[in-house]
């Protein structure tokens, strides 16, 4: 077994969101052992996700940053 890390930025979150919605984003943020955040937007999304906000609130935050 290896140590899984993932580089996160708003473009990758946008792809996950457009592909599978909020559930895909949550799986994307949960699966690696370590996350390396490269921008403020992704950092804010991750912080809100980890603080256990509702799916509707997380959806609203993601939409604010990806401008859907």
Biggest alpha carbon distance in the chain?
38
DSSP H helix total and E strand total for the chain:
3, 2
What is the per-residue pLDDT for 28?
94
- Residues in Cβ contact with 53 at an 8 Å cutoff, skipping those fewer than 6 apart: 61
Alpha-carbon distance of 9 to 43, in angstroms, equals 8
What's this model's pTM, rounded to 2 decimal places? Answer: 0.85
Per residue in 13-61, pLDDT (tens digit) is 999 999 999 999 999 999 888 999 999 999 999 999 999 999 999 999 9
What is the per-residue pLDDT for 33?
87
| 1 pLDDT tier (thresholds 50, 70, 90) | low
């Amino acid at each position: 077994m290896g140590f899984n890390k993932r580089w996160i930025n708003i473009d990758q979150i946008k792809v996950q969101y457009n592909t599978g919605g909020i559930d895909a984003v949550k799986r994307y943020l949960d699966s690696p052992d370590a996350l390396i955040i490269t921008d403020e937007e992704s950092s804010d999304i991750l912080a809100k996700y980890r603080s256990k906000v509702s799916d509707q609130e997380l959806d609203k935050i993601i939409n604010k940053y990806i401008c859907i």
